[in-house]
Amino acid sequence: MRIAVIGAGGTGGYFGGLLARAGQDVTFIARGAQLEALRRRGLTLESRLAGKFTAPVRSTDDPRGVGPVDLILFCVKTYDTDTAAESIRPLIRPDTMLLSLQNGIDNEERIARAAGHTSGIGAVAYVTSVIKAPGVIAQTSGPGKIILGELSGGASARTERLHNVLQRAGITAEVHPDIRVVL
């Protein structure tokens, strides 16, 4: 699965790192010192759940160079949502799944307005992780879990596929029949 992680901070670095270690085709969209460290040394994850490892990763500050992907993990701070969402247009094709792993309850709608795309999937992430140093993510607590589901309710072939990809990466995942209740 081709995956773009928008925001290589604590949440994006944790989940994206696990997906990269599992062999998924992951590109991190990052900036500043984090981008430079990812380019030079890869991503190091220090996790009480997943152990410590370093994965070589692709990273860029320009989504236009990545091309369309199957999945976008949208992990920026809420105050950066509109600007970041506008930048992801080159990553999107009609069947691209987009998971907002941000705090807040209206992010899917804000992203859809700015990016011109909604995948109709909602998600909630349960993890506490931070940038310990550029290129190093420390996961300190929480179950490292993602609950996801169709915003219209129920499960689908695509949410089941995504669930399987997450589980194979060592991410505890659950497809919920009413994700709006969880949100």
pLDDT tens sequence across 23-45: 999 999 999 999 999 999 999 99
CATH of the domain at 63: 3.40.50.720
Coil vs helix vs strand at 37: helix
Predicted TM-score (pTM) of the model is 0.96
Cross-strand bridge partners of residue 148: 123, 175
- Give the domain range for residue 88: 2-182
Alpha-carbon span 47 to 127, nearest angstrom: 11
Q: What is the pLDDT of residue 70?
A: 98
Domain count, the chain: 1
Residue 105 has pLDDT above 90, yes or no: no
Q: What is the DSSP string of 82-146?
A: HHHHHHTGGG--TT-EEEE-SSSSSHHHHHHHHHS---SEEEEEEEEEEEEETTEEEEEEEEEEE
